Amino acid sequence: MKKRILQNGRLLPALETALAEEYDLHPLWREPEPAAYLRQHGASFDGLVTSAPVGADAALLQALPNLKIISSFGVGFDKLDLDMARERKIRVGYTPNVLNDCVADLAFGMMIDIARGIAAADRFVRRGDWLNAKFPIATRISGKRLGIVGLGRIGQAIARRAGGFDMEIAYTNLQPVEGFSYRHEPSLAGLAAWADFLVVSVAGGAQTRHLISRDVLAALGQKGFLINVSRGTVVDEEALVDALVGKTIAGAALDVFANEPHVPARLLECDNVLVLPHIASGTAETRAAMADLVLSNLRAHFSGKELVTPLV
Ligand code: 8YV
């Protein structure tokens, strides 16, 4: 008998197909009344597949009393109730490492764009403005100061790329990270005040909520740029919009927002911001590697082995 797996939210089509071949997969997102469905069928599920932006909250886990494994597509775990998973001894797999390079690549692309105005220059040409004017002078990146908020696996991949741009690198982290010569700066406001570019690559969740506060943005200052590839919740979005409107920072490049897919209307009116629809890991190669890990973690669980990339 195939194991019963509940699917929370849409996944990559190829992954949905592969899951449906191997398991008795039930897409919860297709249910018109998910709560009623779960009341009736919740106890029949052995596993749950989800993704980082969708996760699995306490209410969902409570509705699945026989759940033993969660396999999540993504590295973020801010939407997974890990406390409850630990308490109930539910194993949790996720997809770290395979996306580091693509997220770091995009962070760099975003940094270059917001400093040099690539997307804005493209709009300038398309509007026909080049026929009458010169595109405004931009800001140099090479040799500048890069502040990294969170020197985890993705932060380290960003730092490696910055070496190629001869940037000076400093970082904040809960603890100084061993094995790197980059300068550890204990104070986030201190890092922001020093940096020309402040890149956020810290994990999301309650502990990092609004870490990039009004004060940190004030410290970043009129010549500083903010780049966020982590979670929208890490930034006080209202303070950021105020800083962009008031031009108290130079600009921001954002791949993540507090209430995705909704982007604050005031933000969209600013010309000193790049807004992207959460695409950092979104390449065919990386998404395929993430899908493989989602499957490998499920297979490992159901064959009684250790998960390949366990979170819990
Ligand atoms: C998403 C992400 O998983 O890994 C994460 O934490 O946020 C992304 O990689 C991806 O967008 C799929 O929804």
Q: What is the CATH number of the domain that holds 184?
A: 3.40.50.720
- Assess whether 197 and 91 both reside in one domain: no
What CA–CA distance (Å, rounded) separates 137 from 120?
Answer: 12
The model's confidence at residue 131, banded by pLDDT at 50, 70 and 90, is: very high
- Assess whether 220 and 297 both reside in one domain: no
Segment 288-312, tens digit of pLDDT: 999 999 999 999 999 999 999 999 9
- Assess whether 113 and 64 both reside in one domain: no
Q: Note the pLDDT of residue 9.
A: 97
Segment 90-99, tens digit of pLDDT: 999 999 999 9
- Position 298 in a domain: yes
Task: List the domain range (segments joined by +) for residue 298.
Answer: 4-97+285-302
Q: For residue 232, report the distance from its CA to the centre of ligand 1, in Å.
A: 13
Residue 286 near ligand 1, beta carbon < 6 Å: no
Determine which helix (DSSP H) or strand (DSSP E) holds 24, and give its type and residue range. strand 24-27
Residues 6+ apart with CB under 8 A from 183: 169, 170, 171
- Assess whether 217 and 165 both reside in one domain: yes
- Assess whether 262 and 150 both reside in one domain: yes
Q: Note the pLDDT of residue 275.
A: 98
Mean pLDDT of the chain: 98
Bridge-based pairing of strands 24-27 and 197-200 is unpaired
- Assess whether 128 and 229 both reside in one domain: yes
Nearest residue CA, atom 4 of ligand 1? 74
Q: For residue 230, report the distance from its CA to the centre of ligand 1, in Å.
A: 10
- Assess whether 106 and 92 both reside in one domain: no
Give the pLDDT mean for 26-50.
97
**CB crowding 256-268: b at 16 or more within 10 Å, else e:** bbbeeeebbeebe
Using CB atoms within 10 Å of the CB of residue 34, give its burial: 0 to 12 exposed, 13 to 18 middle, 19+ buried: middle
Segment 60-76, tens digit of pLDDT: 999 999 999 999 999 99
The model's confidence at residue 204, banded by pLDDT at 50, 70 and 90, is: very high
Q: Which residues pair with 91 in a beta bridge?
A: 69
Q: How many domains does the chain have?
A: 2
- Position 280 in a domain: no
Residue 208 near ligand 1, beta carbon < 6 Å: no
- Assess whether 134 and 261 both reside in one domain: yes
Q: For residue 246, report the distance from its CA to the centre of ligand 1, in Å.
A: 32
Nearest residue CA, atom 10 of ligand 1? 74
Q: Note the pLDDT of residue 276.
A: 98
Segment 105-125, tens digit of pLDDT: 999 999 999 999 999 999 999
The model's confidence at residue 246, banded by pLDDT at 50, 70 and 90, is: very high
Q: Note the pLDDT of residue 128.
A: 98
What CA–CA distance (Å, rounded) separates 205 from 197?
Answer: 23
Q: In what side-by-side order are the strands of the sheet with 197-200?
A: 183-184, 168-172, 145-149, 197-200, 225-228, 251-254, 273-275
Percent of the chain with pLDDT over 70: 100
The model's confidence at residue 173, banded by pLDDT at 50, 70 and 90, is: very high
- Assess whether 109 and 82 both reside in one domain: no
Residue from 29, 70, 75 to probe ligand 1 pocket by mutation (most atoms less than 8 Å from CB)? 75
- Assess whether 139 and 43 both reside in one domain: no
- Assess whether 240 and 140 both reside in one domain: yes
Residue 291 near ligand 1, beta carbon < 6 Å: no
Q: Note the pLDDT of residue 71.
A: 98
Residue 197 near ligand 1, beta carbon < 6 Å: no
- Assess whether 115 and 92 both reside in one domain: no
Quick one: which of 77, 87, 90 has its CA closest to 207? Answer: 77
- Position 310 in a domain: no
Q: Note the pLDDT of residue 38.
A: 98
- Point out the residues that are catalytic: 231, 260, 278
- Position 307 in a domain: no
- Position 38 in a domain: yes
- Position 65 in a domain: yes
What CA–CA distance (Å, rounded) separates 125 from 130?
Answer: 5
What CA–CA distance (Å, rounded) separates 264 from 67?
Answer: 37
